[in-house]
Structure 1
Amino acid sequence: MSQSARAARTALLTLPLLALALVLPPADAAAPRTRPAPRAATAPAKPALAKPAPTSPTAAPAAKPAPGPWLYRGSDVPQDKEWVFGELPNGLRYAVRSNGVPPGQVSIRVRVDVGSLFEREHERGYAHFLEHLVFRQSQYLGEGEAIHAWQRLGASFGSDTNAETTPTGTTFSIDLPDATPAGLDESMKYLSGMVIAPTLSDKNIQTDLPIVLAEKRERGGAAARVQDALREVLYAGQPLATRSPIGTEATLTAANQTTVRAFHARWYRPENTVVVLAGDRPTAELEALVQKWFAGWSPPGPHTPAPSFGDPVAPPGAVKAPGGGSVIGQTRVLVEPDLPRNITWATLRPWRPVNDTVAYNQGLMIDQIAQAVINRRLEARARGGGSFLVAQVNQQDVSRSTDATFVSVTPLGEDWRAAVKDVRAVIADAMASPPTAEEIAREVAELDVAFASAQEQQALQPGSRLADDIVQAVDIRETVANPDAVLRIFRESVPLITPQAVLQHTRQLFAGTVTRGVLVTPRAADGTAALLRQALAAPVVADGKARLANKPISFDQLPPIGTPGRVAAAVPTGIGQIEQIELANGVKALIWPSNDEPGRVTVKVRFGAGYRAFGPDDAPYIQLGQMALVGSGEATLGQEELDRISTGRKMGFDFKIDDADFTFSADTRQADLADQLYLFAAKLAMPRWDEAPVLRARAASRLQYDGLAASPQGVLQRDLKWLQHNRDPRYRTPTPGEIEAASPAGFRKVWEPVLASGPIEVQVFGDINRDSTVEALTRTFGALAPRAPAAEAMASTAAQVPPGGGAPAVLTHHGDANQAAALVAWPTGGGMAGVRVSRQLEILTNLFTNRLLDRMREKLGASYAPQVFSSWPLDLDSGGAITAIAQLQPRDVPVFFQTADEIAADLVANPPTADELARVIEPLKQQITRAATSSAFFMYQLEGATTDPSRFAAIRTIMPDYTVTTPAIMQGLAKQFLSRERSWRAQIVPAARPAAAAGR
């Protein structure tokens, strides 16, 4: 029942540590699972090598009779009756569903049961290579025609047309926006030809090879070395240890049409294929299309059974961990000078298929509660200071190869052994004695609100996500259930989630065949594989200090914001049911009660002056604020109390800094809306200045910084905003020394006036009651004291823009010597007065994107995913730009600059063709049509409209602004903005020192 894992929400106010994502387990994660009974592994069989025969549409024979839908065989999970399942006589399975979210769209998924684990040694990377090659040329699409064909049907390359290869499967994904019967039929025709009869010629292989190698290169570096080390150690002795989907340069370079066609013939067969369609067409029509285009698929040769993926095996003489049910196996130390220290270990068990029953899912739910209890205790220890910054346990079934429990730890300092010891002590306590009933109730409430929210919003499930759910269920060999069934099963399971049951499941989670681990460290002197093995095998004393005491708290106990205010004016905006509310204290709000989005409410609060509010020396506090401002508390609520008060509630607290304002935002529901508004208003009225979140954010920032230099992507993340703003120091990423010099007192000094000044705009859109929402606004934001105006300097609408011309700025990274990045930016403008120009520039930018993709990727193979994007700040009079960017080899940086200049010059000299323009406009039209079905679209478009009413008028012209143009207009915009002398450029190239990596 694959929906359950995705429903669990992350705890409120989790510290963002994006740079540390490198250390997560290298797995295509599935839902947490209990351990099924073992069965014999399937032995590999000799494959048949046969070339697929071309197909044509065929009158479909009747589908085979079957004892129930194929996905649910062996399961008592209630079937989701919205899906229609079927099987063709050739063995192909399908699932179709009528779904009108968004209107007019149909999502198509074709999943083939072949991934990197199905490859032989000389075929490493073939499954992923095939994913590329089927788009290159096939029965119904000539060479290089696929992208253009779907663009003409309104599908955007990358977002609407995509594919993915994992160790266990390959999935082709099409989201067809305007799915007319003719367009849908054409898409199914194309897909059938791609999957059944791709050309796979030597010419195709040589054309796509540089693209795949570019993808491999761009995914390389420190992050790839960490993932490789984790995979090689944790899954030692199994195919997964060496079967990364990207393959090796040697096997990819040696590929030819004979070997690739043999691989295709062996695995691309109807019995290995599932076709899924979900969208705004009748199910009978969708079902008929599957039969029309896939029933005639009859490959030669016998079926080849899937190979064995092996089992984890303990090495001879391995040491057993004290108090655990597994032995300590392989360990490794990986030295990466730019990465923070991290330790990942995993307890591994054999994976076996299961019957996806209700009882099985009840076991999964207890597993989830057990993990949540431990993770909350680990978070409490980290918040309280100590030896580690962050730690987490996470159970996964990995690629049908192992059922594993992972532990990941980021130490605060150099003493990684103390961090391992402290985390193991918390886990040992969880294995020694049961959690309290209060701890269980807290985690049950968190899951319940997630499942209940999904149930309330089930009418809003997009067809793309529903189709993906079926694909995931097939991949992990489980079923799907609708939100009603998931919520019912969970609530019926709650009596089973007893302290003793959670204790039993906790012990099972940390028992297994073998435990293996990897230490990533910047210094070779930090340790050896033997020391890591000793740390994992050392006796450990259970530490119960992290158990959280039961401290009930409610909003009724909190101080009021102030005296409730009154509504000074309530004015219709003329945009649907959106109303502008003006409160007597100057706060303005836009509210939109909408019955079209049941169960969904979105709240945004924009206030202050954004980056304009800071001084040139404030960069450290800007970064710390993004990480710690919310966690530093409000009223009587510290970080732990903020967590507690939101338990069992659908609430959030996201914070963002923009050029011209700050934003609080959250997804909530009507029942929790008043309290959500209180949280936001109280942060402005009664901020706390707790030191612990600031100190923790400071530690995280220090650890993250060096890692940003490990790749061109990291350097861009670190410096791009700074470059775009002409090296304005406010946009600079602070150094570790600057972060270390920042203090909690300095943090308060910078942020206290920010929270106290500047205008406030509140937006509440969704499934709300108008009158109760207005009342909640008067009791929260209406009760705020009148705000001081922003300082005059903060009201500036000018942005610093880099000067054009001159040599490229040169930045360096510490990653691989074959990695670089380059960008060219042409400054444009800003402000609402030019909003139509900004929208027309999106068309020009997409023209540029298609040409750059064709030149740098399709023809030269120099860059895997070059991109061009346009920015146009509506709150400022300048600062916008068209920016072209690509990752490539250092030797190709001049080629990129030359290519970008040539494309720009041609757009200046010559208007685009009608077909080229149509292939850009149709996807833009479909994107807007789809987006406009959501209140989030209107919320975004109307941000700032309470102070700038021109935004109400601008939303009415959005479709023609983005879709009505001429080749001459495009040429005119190119002449205005894309001249060589206006542009500035930058390149990120390897530093003099080589990348250092070592395993010990």
Structure 2
Amino acid sequence: MKFLYWRFAPLALISLIAAPALATVVLSTTPVAKEAPASAAPAKQQSAETPWLYLNSDVPQQKEWLFGTLPNGVRYAIRKNGVPPGQVSVRVRIDAGSLMEDDGEQGFAHFLEHLSFRGSKEVPEGESKRAWQRLGVTFGSDSNASTTATETVYKLDLPNAKEAGLDESLNILASMMESPNIIDSTVSAERAVVMAEQREAFGAAVKIGDASRETFFSGQKLAKRSTIGTVETLTGATAAGLQAFHDRWYRPERAVVVISGDMDPALMEGMVKKHFASWKGTGPNPADPDFGQPDPNAPVSAAIVEPSFPGIVQIGILRPWAPVADTIVYNEGLMIEAIALRIINRRLETRARVGGSYLQAAVEQEDSSRSADTTTVSIFPIGDDWQAAVRDVRAVIDDATTNAPAQADIDREVNEFDLALLNTLENEAAEPGSKQADDLVRAVDICETVTTSQGALDIFRGAKRLFTPEQMLTATKRLMQGSVPPRILLTTPKPVENAAALAATALTENVSSLAANTKARDVTFADLPRLGTPAKVVKRSMLDSIAIETVELSNGVKLILFPNAGEPGKIYVSARFGNGYQALPRDKPSLAWTGGMAMVPSGIGKLGIEELDALSNGRKINLGFDITEDAFVLGGETRAVDLADQLKLMAAKLKKPGWDPAPVIRARAQMLAGYEIMNGAPGSVLQRDLDALVRGGDPRWATPSRDEIAALTPKAFRKFWKPILKTGPIEVQIFGDFKAEDAIEAARQSFGALRLRKPAKIIGENALTGIPVHNDAPVMRTHKGPPDQAAAVLAWPTGGGVENIAEARRLEVLAAIFNDRLFDKLRSEAGASYSPSVSSQWPTGMANGGYLMVLGQLKPGGTDQFFKLSREIAADLATTLVEPDELARALGPIKQYYMRASTGNQFWLRETAGSTRNPQKIDAMESLASDLLRITPQDVQAMAQRYLGADKSWSMVVLPETKAADVGAVLTPAR
């Protein structure tokens, strides 16, 4: 039963930069034996009826699951779940991943995953995708698969599932497992797709991930095992070799079928028996390979140069891996470690916030692919002085392993952990079947169990006797000590002389004199700026179609309330004000990009982010900031008992924002540190430049240049945002599990106590976006990543606004059909791109700015083929009516998506946003179902004729610098 190490704050750089690299270091895991806490009770004895998942475990069982084992060894777990209504989620896990591969088979587990989806002896090639589309399944989200070091998992979420559809789906999946169509022609075709996936991976992240594995797990199999494989092994893969891998590892004894959905469990169990019972393995069931143990003689340091990355230091502390019994005692040990890690990470974040040598740092523990129990320290230095950053981070860790934390520090983390578990319990009835299926598969992979939300909370609260300073110190020491010398990997954007030796030295420097006091002062909500006199309710009205109420207060604030228990214990709050992108200048750059990074951390009144963190300790109160086309948005997620204070916090942010300079300086440093990443691959160049280019160069969507980032000052930040935070009108949406009268009273006391705000002005042209001009030759950009990566974009301007929202829905269907055809042509047939996509964007907050976009990542020489195929598809859609089956296969997943989304509050929050200013949004929301039901082949053709003209398209390519120079291209310089 794995407990998540909830963090108190997101770590943007670590999640956006380090995660792709570290994901290949810390793969699917199984736990290592840990010391039992003092006074722990022994595990209880079990009967012969104990479900297979709970053998050797005494944690509270989830009795809703129906467990069983077929005579051939296939294990299954099945339960009824009606969230969302009508959906059935199926997972088939095979106990085989990249660590089961021989040296010459690297990448075979993943290759076989791809082949299984192509077809089997019972299912013609490509038919599984079409069959599932007819059942409303979206390929890539509802049907997918993943391969890790220790498993391969096939995933299917059937919306609106009926008995016949589930029966057909399980037949397809069983056939995929038992007899995929592994022949020379399918291997050859899918090889191009797999190699395209390998080629399109972010090269810098792959390089760092490979180096991390090789450094941390040197001497073990994991060190040389990338899930994707190597060019040599993929090129040399044959049907015979892949069939041999399949026969060895795809066996009923190594398979688990998990189903959670809105259907009778006995019926689902019968289908599992019907389709999986006849599966027989070939030859004996092989033992798992020896993955090895941490090598005490391995080198302790390594260094690589990656120009497209900022500096990053990764430290690995390794201990031997061994399986454990998933008992209450074991989980109490995990909980102590979780609290200890939270204390360290909070101290690291506090030190970074006040200014120092590093932008971000984090400590995590993972059980790494049955290879090691690993503690990983990730550090992002400021500038080139990585040694100072290592010293400062090690000083925090050294203090944590030398001095026991104060009980108050422990209690703070315990309160937040307890709240997270309580929130899970409160929302247990709304837990989707897909999550339940994923959680159980995860438990199987790490050889642990799943428990009830009440059971998890009870274990945690029962362990509070162990959350003492002495236990925390012991746990921290264990986490930071290894059985072998710690390893360190230094990544720098430019060469450092003697880098590996310097990194090794940085691990052993004495840092005991550098520890800093990171304690925040105690605060209460009484320390927030005082608001004003509460407003009065002047008008209330209810929608006819759904129980959504609009309330107008005497100070002009309008509320949209949707009280419902669809997600028990959860409330979404959104406060929209001003005019968003419409309020920003269209003729010059602005500081809009700083809002998401520094608006909330800059504080409220005299309270900084540290005090705000302390203020919300043990309570579900948080704050985020966003910009939409027609509003600036403060958002949060809370619960009924905390709703009043959540609203006070948001209103106080508008009443008297804080202007702490430290978050602005940190945001500037983060942007500069990560700037080269935007040149590191075609995808990152598109992420940097495309939003502005596809809007005719509109600077409101442009990424700031390096000079613009460097020029940012706290004074400029305040000058830009201060007047915006005073703009109106204010619309507050409150959706979730609350009572309407309580919410109205809380809003009166908070937002209702603000002064009347006049509507912000929209300056003429700012209400519109630019339109990209048709070009015969594509706009060109370059990247500094691998020379075999390129990208191409083809886009057509469409429209915007809610007045003709039916047009947007017809375009959504057109894009889905276009996407399916491009997928078949560019990926399945040509293998030219792993992830081609077609999407339609139709902004409802502006009268224009929409577009239909075709995007593909390719080889540099493949852009002409991409444009040719895309234009041929566009032309055919304009001249030839689509077949009814093709339209139905496109419409089905779209309708099912909206049906499932509409069971959650965030859907209604999004659909009604801004409706107090523009009532047409309500009409648009209510017409959704009828608009989709009315779409015909003629409508699709009319959309293609209206928008996809060859003389209206705009195009772009991103090429590697070397290839662009070779062809003598006239390039638009990258910013």
TM-score range (shorter-chain normalised) is over 0.9
- How far 1:560 sits from its partner (Å)? 2.7
Alignment of 1:288-367 (within 5 A): 288-315=270-297, 329-367=299-337
Question: 2:58 pairs with 57, 72, 76, which one?
Answer: 76
SS of aligned partner of 2:257: strand
Confirm whether residue 568 of structure 1 aligns to residue 565 of structure 2.
no
**Separation of aligned partners in 1, 2:504 and 2:933:** 62
Alignment of 1:473-622 (within 5 A): 473-514=443-484, 515-525=486-496, 527-541=498-512, 543-549=514-520, 551-615=521-585, 619=589, 621-622=591-592
The answer for the alignment partner of 1:714 in structure 2 is 684
Q: AA paired with 2:330?
A: Y
The answer for the alignment partner of 1:763 in structure 2 is 733
Alignment of 1:734-753 (within 5 A): 734-753=704-723
Q: Is the 8 A contact 2:313 2:380 kept in 1?
A: yes
**Separation of aligned partners in 2, 1:641 and 1:575:** 43
Identity of aligned residues (%): 45
**Separation of aligned partners in 2, 1:92 and 1:245:** 25
The answer for the alignment partner of 2:7 in structure 1 is 10
1:367-392 per-residue CA deviation (whole Å, 9 max, x = no partner) reads: 01111111111111111111111111
SS of aligned partner of 1:992: helix
Q: AA paired with 1:429?
A: D
Alignment of 1:536-935 (within 5 A): 536-541=507-512, 543-549=514-520, 551-615=521-585, 619=589, 621-793=591-763, 796-935=766-905
- How far 1:308 sits from its partner (Å)? 1.1
**Separation of aligned partners in 2, 1:455 and 1:373:** 24
Confirm whether residue 20 of structure 1 aligns to residue 17 of structure 2.
yes
**Separation of aligned partners in 2, 1:914 and 1:438:** 66
Confirm whether residue 150 of structure 1 aligns to residue 132 of structure 2.
yes
**Separation of aligned partners in 2, 1:871 and 1:706:** 28
Q: Is the 8 A contact 1:13 1:653 kept in 2?
A: no
1:858-912 per-residue CA deviation (whole Å, 9 max, x = no partner) reads: 1110000100110111111110000000100110011111111110000011011
Q: Is the 8 A contact 2:582 2:768 kept in 1?
A: no
**Gap change, CA 1:815 and 1:591, over 3 Å in 2:** same
SS of aligned partner of 2:303: strand
The answer for the alignment partner of 1:253 in structure 2 is 235
Q: Is the 8 A contact 2:786 2:960 kept in 1?
A: yes
Choose 657-666 or 854-863, whichever is displaced more. 657-666
Choose 84-93 or 115-124, whichever is displaced more. 84-93
**Gap change, CA 1:745 and 1:877, over 3 Å in 2:** same
SS of aligned partner of 2:72: coil
**Separation of aligned partners in 1, 2:497 and 2:744:** 59
**Separation of aligned partners in 1, 2:458 and 2:145:** 34
Confirm whether residue 430 of structure 1 aligns to residue 400 of structure 2.
yes
Q: AA paired with 1:523?
A: K
- How far 1:745 sits from its partner (Å)? 0.6
**Separation of aligned partners in 1, 2:519 and 2:27:** 29
The answer for the alignment partner of 1:388 in structure 2 is 358
| TM-score after normalising by structure 2 | 0.96
- How far 1:16 sits from its partner (Å)? 6.0
SS of aligned partner of 1:870: strand
- How far 1:232 sits from its partner (Å)? 1.1
Q: Is the 8 A contact 2:312 2:378 kept in 1?
A: yes
SS of aligned partner of 1:822: strand
SS of aligned partner of 2:637: strand
**Separation of aligned partners in 1, 2:904 and 2:852:** 27
SS of aligned partner of 2:529: coil
**Gap change, CA 1:484 and 1:670, over 3 Å in 2:** same
The answer for the alignment partner of 2:81 in structure 1 is 99
**Gap change, CA 1:34 and 1:200, over 3 Å in 2:** closer
1:434-486 per-residue CA deviation (whole Å, 9 max, x = no partner) reads: 00001000100110110000000000100000000010000000000111111
**Gap change, CA 1:671 and 1:925, over 3 Å in 2:** same
Q: Is the 8 A contact 1:698 1:740 kept in 2?
A: yes
Q: Is the 8 A contact 1:33 1:367 kept in 2?
A: no
Q: AA paired with 1:202?
A: D
1:775-832 per-residue CA deviation (whole Å, 9 max, x = no partner) reads: 0111111111111331341784322111123321001110011001110111000111
**Separation of aligned partners in 1, 2:497 and 2:929:** 59
**Separation of aligned partners in 1, 2:386 and 2:367:** 27
**Separation of aligned partners in 1, 2:787 and 2:773:** 30
**Separation of aligned partners in 2, 1:158 and 1:217:** 19
Choose 160-169 or 947-956, whichever is displaced more. 947-956
May I ask how many residue pairs the two structures share in their alignment?
953
Alignment of 1:427-466 (within 5 A): 427-466=397-436
SS of aligned partner of 1:940: helix
Q: Is the 8 A contact 1:116 1:127 kept in 2?
A: yes
Q: Is the 8 A contact 2:348 2:393 kept in 1?
A: yes
SS of aligned partner of 2:760: coil
SS of aligned partner of 2:725: helix
**Separation of aligned partners in 2, 1:236 and 1:161:** 36
The answer for the alignment partner of 1:109 in structure 2 is 91
Question: 2:155 pairs with 173, 189, 195, which one?
Answer: 173
**Gap change, CA 1:751 and 1:926, over 3 Å in 2:** same
- How far 1:406 sits from its partner (Å)? 0.4
- How far 1:110 sits from its partner (Å)? 0.2
RMSD over aligned Cα atoms = 1.8
The answer for the alignment partner of 1:164 in structure 2 is 146
Confirm whether residue 222 of structure 1 aligns to residue 208 of structure 2.
no
- How far 1:178 sits from its partner (Å)? 1.6
SS of aligned partner of 1:537: coil
The answer for the alignment partner of 1:232 in structure 2 is 214
Question: 2:188 pairs with 202, 206, 214, which one?
Answer: 206
- How far 1:25 sits from its partner (Å)? 5.5
**Separation of aligned partners in 2, 1:617 and 1:446:** 46
- How far 1:301 sits from its partner (Å)? 1.4
SS of aligned partner of 1:408: strand
SS of aligned partner of 2:755: coil
Q: AA paired with 2:873?
A: I
1:728-771 per-residue CA deviation (whole Å, 9 max, x = no partner) reads: 22322112222121111111000001100132111101101111
1:79-106 per-residue CA deviation (whole Å, 9 max, x = no partner) reads: 1111111111111111000000000000
**Separation of aligned partners in 2, 1:300 and 1:990:** 47
- How far 1:578 sits from its partner (Å)? 0.7
Choose 906-915 or 721-730, whichever is displaced more. 721-730
**Separation of aligned partners in 2, 1:820 and 1:574:** 52
**Gap change, CA 1:773 and 1:962, over 3 Å in 2:** same
Query: Structure 2 regions of 5+ residues with no counterpart?
Result: 37-46, 966-975
The answer for the alignment partner of 1:122 in structure 2 is 104
The answer for the alignment partner of 2:43 in structure 1 is none
Alignment of 1:40-55 (within 5 A): none
**Separation of aligned partners in 1, 2:513 and 2:374:** 22
Choose 841-850 or 781-790, whichever is displaced more. 781-790
Q: Is the 8 A contact 1:815 1:994 kept in 2?
A: no
**Gap change, CA 1:884 and 1:610, over 3 Å in 2:** same
Q: AA paired with 1:899?
A: L
The answer for the alignment partner of 1:265 in structure 2 is 247
- How far 1:33 sits from its partner (Å)? 5.8
Q: Is the 8 A contact 1:831 1:872 kept in 2?
A: yes
**Gap change, CA 1:95 and 1:542, over 3 Å in 2:** farther
**Separation of aligned partners in 1, 2:61 and 2:929:** 41
